[in-house]
């Protein structure tokens, strides 16, 4: 069992790794098994880069949420579940960053801001609502991300098979995280909270598409 100070140091380490360190995936990149795809036009390449940047920001926020909620909870089982989900999100970070490099694009310049905001929300959810509310927050977050990724499958260029393979695997993982949190006893969130989450996500995705 880690002491509170140990957990705080672990959270700080996770923050620095998420924002500044190269990410190493524990699973093979799904793009490696995808067909090479068609040669993208300049417009298609910019679109793929913008969408994958948004997805990368989403994973930065997911790391912040899970790290904050794991720090806030007093339930070892809940903490273990959150930490396991965060490891999957590290894979997503690595895959989306690799794809951004391949299409000649960059991560969001506002990643520290996105991380700080998501961390604050996750800490608040964990401290104020308790374990069931925190798990409910995970369910709602992952359901919204899953829908967001589904929309990207519609928007990505048809010939961008590598990006589509990454997004498809991410979508599968997010659905699994939501199901696991639900089965662990998540409480449904009030409608106003869900609405605020959707508004915050819309702001993030709109800004990150460009910056």
For the chain, how many structural domains are there in total? Answer: 1
Element (H, E) at 92: helix 76-102
Residue 158 within a domain:
yes
Residue 58 within a domain:
yes
CATH of the domain at 189: 1.20.1260.10
CB-CB contact of 178 with 139 (8 Å): yes
Closest of 93, 18, 94, 14 to residue 58, by C-alpha: 93
pTM for this one? 0.89
pLDDT under 70: residue ranges of the chain: 1-4, 37-38, 129
Residue 14 within a domain:
no
Domain that holds residue 202: 41-208
Residue 199 within a domain:
yes
Residue 61 within a domain:
yes
Contacts of 110 (CB under 8 A, 6+ apart): 57, 207, 208, 211
Closest of 52, 48, 89, 86 to residue 69, by C-alpha: 86
Residue 121 within a domain:
yes
Residue 34 within a domain:
no
CA gap 40, 106 in Å, rounded: 17
185: left (phi over 0), alpha (psi -120 to 50) or beta: left
Residue 17 within a domain:
no
The predicted structure's pLDDT at residue 2: 61
**Tens digits of per-residue pLDDT, 30-39?**
998 887 766 8
Burial of 119 (0-12, 13-18, 19+ CB in 10 A): buried
The predicted structure's pLDDT at residue 37: 66
Query: Tokens representing 180?
Result: 């696991």
């Amino acid at each position: 069992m880690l002491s509170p100070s140990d957990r705080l140091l672990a959270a700080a380490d996770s923050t620095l790794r998420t924002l500044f360190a190269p990410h190493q995936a524990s699973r093979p990149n799904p793009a490696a098994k995808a067909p090479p795809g068609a040669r993208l036009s300049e417009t298609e390449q910019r679109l793929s880069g913008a969408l994958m940047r948004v997805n990368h920001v989403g994973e930065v926020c997911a790391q912040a949420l899970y790290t904050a909620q794991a720090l806030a909870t007093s339930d070892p089982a809940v903490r273990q579940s959150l930490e396991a989900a965060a490891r999957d999100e590290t894979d997503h970070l690595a895959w989306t960053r690799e794809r951004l490099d391949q299409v000649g694009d960059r991560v969001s310049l506002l990643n520290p801001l996105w991380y700080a905001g998501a961390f604050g929300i996750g800490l608040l959810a964990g401290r104020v609502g308790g374990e069931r509310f925190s798990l409910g927050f995970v369910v709602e977050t992952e359901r919204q991300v899953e829908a967001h990724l589904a929309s990207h499958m519609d928007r990505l260029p048809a010939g961008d098979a590598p990006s589509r393979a990454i997004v498809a695997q991410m979508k599968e993982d997010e659905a699994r995280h939501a199901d696991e949190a639900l089965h662990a006893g998540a409480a449904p969130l009030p409608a106003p909270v869900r609405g605020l989450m959707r508004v915050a996500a819309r702001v993030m995705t709109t800004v990150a598409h460009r910056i």
